[in-house]
Structure 1
Amino acid sequence: MPIYMTRKIKRIKTFIALSIIPQIFLVKLLGSNPHLIETYYSNGFYPKLSMLYRYIFGWIPFSIGDIFYTLLGILIVRFLLIRGKWFFEHTRAFFRELFVVVSIAYFVFHLFWGMNYYRQPISKSMGLSEDYTSQQLYDFTERIVAKSNEIHLKITQNDSMKVVMPYSKEETFTMTQNGFDNLARQYPQFTYYPQSVKKSLYSKMLTYMGYSGYLNPFTHEAQVNGLIHNYKFPTTTCHEIAHQLGYSAENEANFVGYLAAVHNEDIYFKYSAYIFVMRYCLGEIRRRDPDKFVEFNTKINPGIIKNYIEVSNFWKKYENVAEPAFKSTYNTFLKANSQKEGMKSYNYVVALLVNYYKDRPL
């Protein structure tokens, strides 16, 4: 290759590598105006892009995103093997190559999905308060416990039997659409079509990392851990679809996932939804008043407790020394993307639920 072409390529790569700096400033600048992001990105550009990618990849029965990550991993290893020595011999060239990749990934991530981290809170768009008292929490939990017990008894006819989902995970994926269709009649912003939900090819790895699923922001496939218990599958699937719809905050994805599952006509989906949010309510009560937590536990059907224990035992089986590191990394990632409480933000779904049901029946 001629010398002038080599120099030109180097200049282009240097420009791309250094563009990470203005990109970060631009993202933070745009992100400081949630109304702008909500109007033009989250309700403008993003839904069209996401729908396009769901049309492209949704019909394929396996995860294209997981294959993409596999190839990316191979390319990273190849780069380190071939260019790794540059770190010592040609340090500037090594970091130029590295930051070319980082810069492009940062740009694509935020264009394809990441700007949703800076949208308006769902509490604002749905007119919900974010504050609630302990008494309001206790009153709502009383209602959710009663409803969970009622649905559990309808399914099992025995308060001591655990619930076993009668559907395969593929059937659950298909049935999930019903809940979003029903929910969208009341809230059009939750319209979901076409579907692109798949079991992750790396379900075992996700389990060791402590995750039930994830959204691939580059292919817009909702990935669900294929090893988790079936009764958890409906709400986990709905949670990942909520991310697909652009609700990046974990508490909001929990909230939308719950609403979609509870609006499903299938009773097993409703059961999954109710005991999903009941767990978060009980966790918040335990934090505020341990004695009250014990009191509420005595009111829950033993069969529901068995389902909780079943899930707890499943995760304990896969506990390992690396899991805290993965959780810590994701916690840092969330904090860097406008979720100040990191992984604790999952629990803030309680505020949305308590205020949503102030004037609504369960």
Structure 2
Amino acid sequence: MVHTNKYFNIYKKRFWAGILLVQFFLFYILSKSENAIEFFNQLFELKKNVHQIIFSKIQFSVGDAFYILIVIFLLLIIVNLFKKKRRPKSAFALIIFCNIFYLIYQIFWGMLYFQKSLSDKLSKEDATINEAKKLSFKYLKLCIADRENVDENKQGIFVIKDLKSVKESILKEQKKLPSQFSTKKSTLINDFKPSLFRNVMSSTGILGYYNPFTAEAQFNEDLPATFLPFTLAHESSHQLGFARENEANFIGYLTGKNSGNKALKYSTDLFVLKSLLAFVADSDPAFIKFMISQFSPKMKADRQNDLDFVKKHNGFLNVVFDVSNNLFLKSNQQKGSITYSYFTVMLIKYERSAGQK
């Protein structure tokens, strides 16, 4: 009887391990089918309203609490794997968990990474350094003008006094997104939440994240004000259904660039300026120094505040996150850390086409 149970348990583990392997192959095959991708896209459209309605009514971050429970569960499993008597049950529980987690993740979010790229709707001609430089001057002027219209503290640093109005503006502007790039429907549900992990986020360089299990847009409330509005616009783009990071940046840019909310517009234009300068940096460092020297005194004060924040929180966790995030992006049809420069390429191509109209 003992041997029978032993072999039965081994069979169960192998069966569920096989199911997990089948899932890998199944979703890989589905990722190659346009009809399948469209099905998952429509499924996301149906469920995002329900998720946001449910979880927006809860004040704290449900997604963060969910991840905390998962970490506790996995730690218990790992501890029990070192105990001979509990090892079989723990190993089986781990395999079941991996099956369920992977299935839900792919259905709710993972398959959206395989949607047609927004870059396909833009010019095929490569973006150039000269174009980036030209746009840098344009956005520097915009940032200087924007900076004069936002609130600041006694130290002369940009601050946000009404974050709720920023959130409302993002949701409102999403309704006006060009149909060329988005036919997705905004829910107009305020489901932005400060993360419970803000200290960890500050130490790892995470500005915010989208939780695919609860549809919450998480953000680090300790961020300098220059980062915060555009971070919200970026995470809200994920809520719309744009999975790729570069596309969420692009949709965030389209959301904030013409916003009547002054804080959102400044944060968006500043993000664009930083992205353009980063695009040029390797080829012409002298140009970057010159552009920074042209910042207005108020912009320079904001920049120093940003640098102080980064310096204060930079550490070992930042390196660990950079490596793990790089691997995650590559596993989801993205180019690792380089994926963020693809936003700049999309921006340049978009501005090029806008200038030709």
Pair in the same fold by TM > 0.5: yes
Q: Distance in 1 between matches of 2:234 and 2:215?
A: 14
Q: Distance in 2 between matches of 1:189 and 1:73?
A: 37
The question of 1:69 aligning with 2:67 is answered: yes
Q: Distance in 2 between matches of 1:360 and 1:280?
A: 19
* CA distance 1:56–1:6, change in 2 (3 Å): farther
Q: Distance in 2 between matches of 1:279 and 1:201?
A: 28
The question of 1:136 aligning with 2:146 is answered: no
The residue number in structure 2 matching 1:356 is 350
- Structure 1 residue 300 displacement after superposition: 2.4
* CA distance 1:101–1:184, change in 2 (3 Å): same
Q: Give 1:223-242 correspondences, 5 Å limit.
A: 223-242=218-237
- Structure 1 residue 5 displacement after superposition: 9.3
The residue number in structure 2 matching 1:25 is 25
The residue number in structure 1 matching 2:76 is 78
Q: Distance in 2 between matches of 1:38 and 1:301?
A: 47
* CA distance 1:226–1:161, change in 2 (3 Å): closer
The residue number in structure 1 matching 2:298 is 303
| Matched AA of 2:39 | Y
Deviations 1:67-93 (A, max 9, x none): 11122222222323344324xx78766
* CA distance 1:171–1:5, change in 2 (3 Å): farther
CA RMSD of aligned residues (A): 2.9
- Structure 1 residue 9 displacement after superposition: 7.4
Q: Is the 8 A contact 1:235 1:261 kept in 2?
A: yes
Deviations 1:271-297 (A, max 9, x none): 111001100101111122122222322
* CA distance 1:301–1:156, change in 2 (3 Å): farther
Secondary structure (helix, strand or coil) at the match of 1:264 reads coil
* CA distance 1:59–1:6, change in 2 (3 Å): farther
Q: Give 1:192-211 correspondences, 5 Å limit.
A: 192-193=186-187, 194-211=189-206
Q: Distance in 2 between matches of 1:134 and 1:322?
A: 33
Residue 98 of structure 2, aligned match among 89, 94, 102? 102
Q: Is the 8 A contact 1:180 1:190 kept in 2?
A: no
- Structure 1 residue 214 displacement after superposition: 0.7
| Matched AA of 2:333 | S
Q: Distance in 1 between matches of 2:306 and 2:125?
A: 30
Secondary structure (helix, strand or coil) at the match of 2:282 reads helix
Q: Distance in 2 between matches of 1:302 and 1:331?
A: 35
**How many residue pairs are counted as aligned between the two chains?**
352
The residue number in structure 1 matching 2:241 is 246
Secondary structure (helix, strand or coil) at the match of 2:209 reads strand
- Structure 1 residue 353 displacement after superposition: 0.8
Q: Is the 8 A contact 2:158 2:225 kept in 1?
A: no
Secondary structure (helix, strand or coil) at the match of 1:201 reads coil
- Structure 1 residue 270 displacement after superposition: 0.7
Q: Is the 8 A contact 2:165 2:261 kept in 1?
A: no
Residue 287 of structure 2, aligned match among 279, 289, 292? 292
Q: Distance in 2 between matches of 1:156 and 1:216?
A: 31
* CA distance 1:12–1:282, change in 2 (3 Å): same
Q: Which moved more, 1:56-65 or 1:144-153?
A: 144-153
Secondary structure (helix, strand or coil) at the match of 2:100 reads helix
Secondary structure (helix, strand or coil) at the match of 1:214 reads strand
- Structure 1 residue 36 displacement after superposition: 3.5
Scaled by the length of structure 2, the TM-score of the pair is: 0.88
The question of 1:177 aligning with 2:177 is answered: no
Scaled by the length of structure 1, the TM-score of the pair is: 0.87
Q: Is the 8 A contact 1:41 1:116 kept in 2?
A: yes
Deviations 1:301-330 (A, max 9, x none): 232132122112112111222321122111
Q: Is the 8 A contact 1:182 1:264 kept in 2?
A: no
- Structure 1 residue 358 displacement after superposition: 1.5
Q: Is the 8 A contact 1:65 1:221 kept in 2?
A: yes
* CA distance 1:289–1:314, change in 2 (3 Å): same
Q: Distance in 1 between matches of 2:186 and 2:25?
A: 33
Q: Distance in 2 between matches of 1:61 and 1:94?
A: 34
* CA distance 1:150–1:208, change in 2 (3 Å): same
Q: Which runs of 5+ in 1 are unaligned?
A: none
The residue number in structure 2 matching 1:281 is 276
The percentage of counterpart residues that share the same residue type is: 25
Q: Distance in 2 between matches of 1:321 and 1:37?
A: 41
The question of 1:333 aligning with 2:328 is answered: yes
Q: Which moved more, 1:14-23 or 1:76-85?
A: 76-85
Q: Which moved more, 1:325-334 or 1:179-188?
A: 179-188
| Matched AA of 1:18 | G
Q: Distance in 2 between matches of 1:4 and 1:57?
A: 46
Secondary structure (helix, strand or coil) at the match of 1:231 reads coil
* CA distance 1:134–1:187, change in 2 (3 Å): closer
Q: Distance in 2 between matches of 1:189 and 1:179?
A: 14
- Structure 1 residue 165 displacement after superposition: 2.3
Q: Which moved more, 1:24-33 or 1:46-55?
A: 24-33
Q: Is the 8 A contact 1:123 1:130 kept in 2?
A: no
Deviations 1:161-195 (A, max 9, x none): 5433232x445334432222333688652531133
Deviations 1:137-181 (A, max 9, x none): 222222111221222234479xx95433232x4453344322223
